[in-house]
Structure 1
């Protein structure tokens, strides 16, 4: 332009691309064995017993003996006849050892195999310029960066010079230029850990990546809050049930102390240490030996151990006078073992006969005062 000064240089030359981005790699994560977490589905396989046809059909038998259990919010799985077994934060081998111990404690055949059917506790989210943004689970084998990107359908980028892969981990942001990722095999094999967020960005602006990471953080916080709420609800329910059980226990104890609790008794009569009634224990069985020896046993001077009787009435009210009697000959010491196996029922009567000499002695003791009194009266006259 005539008469004008030279036009100053533009601040930004659109034809010049920015310099290369800085590469910031996450710290190397140690490779450890997979630990079971909340939400994982544990598959328990036990031997299948059945007919010959089922045993010959191995596939059918295997499918019938495999049962899946989801790890609950308290970190345990609930197995019938075993109860709750805590497996969270345990490796598969440690969980097998714990389950083996619990099966042995409950006297159950500890022949089983354990495997993880669904991996739901440890995940990595992948988003940005990928075909299908997804959440990839971490399984028994480590999850590497290239595998996570492949799980999302691969990267969809037209200009690699402006693209980068950003990893958000533990509050820190790391980035790898896409050109370096493709040219360096070691960068592709970066192991990912639970909670990582991977975002493929096509510009130098961090707004989109920051929004994605913020969303993932909010989702993780929401899930954590949901788990805390579920645990609080479970603890509240357990506290309420425990309080109800404690109240029932205290009420029963009070009734028991006052003698108003319903009890079943067995009655002891004849030549026993103490004629009384023997209370049958709650929720347990009592034998003939329990009842006899709880009251001092049988006095061998007066009691005839050859004639120990158990009398039992008929439970049918139409057979009011019906009676069943058993006799135990305790003169033979080996027969006393039967007393420990004879189960008592409510309202049984245990009767021990007297020795013949005891009967004669009592007759003499009753007659002697009469004879003495008669003799004294005759002498006085």
Structure 2
């Protein structure tokens, strides 16, 4: 903690110091002249001073750990419980804070997949995230995501739903705040459930608020903990694409679910596919590429159920892209009032979603 708080000494410099001198206490025991062989004059001077915030943060952290010793812990770079997959990254975090049952640890993620995507997904996108996560979890694959709104939350929910009462590591949430905070606040209940049947993970010290610069940094941990990354929906400029790029840099597979050419949330996935990501239509596509199916329980291979023979004509007219009421009038020739009544009925049945901008989209029934 002292290393991470020392001004001018980031994780990169801290790793150089640890590589040169071993344990952190050995770093602070070095004479000034010896430190200068590894760091700059300013950094060596900073290392000689105890950071003013250290004592208060140490007390806060000790109180947090002591309040739930079976559920809260810290893992440092040299611990046996530190995941080897993160050590393969160019910038592994020095410290990880964990919240979750003691028997769960990050070395259990040999069967894992990251699911990431838009914070504002289409209803179909959220359904896909939940269904894929549920199918993966049923096969014993831990789902890793970031606790954000939208796709992240749906993925965690799907994994927890599949785990049910089975006491196993269902999902891992890597967050961009200290673990004494929940962001977004509406995911407080979800975070509590993950802490009971999964792990909450952060490299940030307690008290760290949701600062924008911390979220892209946590994405490297999401990618690093997982065998591969599935992008469900993403705009062209999104954190999900950062996670995908980091996964590629780490030599991991990237999967993407295609979507409507008219949906902004699909353009990021389409860009990834053009760049070499693997197009995914079913969970089986992922099982086969990562060889995950053999060791797990049976799981559905196709997320979307086949269309029923007696499917309402309006669903066929809707297709699978978002469509406006005017377009439906043109396609069907039916009066707008009749269409609105049928759309409302299908919406109440959960088969059609109403989107912003007066658009409608059918929802595949998993």
Calculate the TM-score normalised by the size of structure 2. Answer: 0.16
Calculate the TM-score normalised by the size of structure 1. Answer: 0.16
Tell me which structure has the larger Cα radius of gyration: 1
Query: Quick check: which one's helix share is greater?
Result: 2
Greater RCO between the two (CA within 8 Å, min separation 6)? Answer: 2
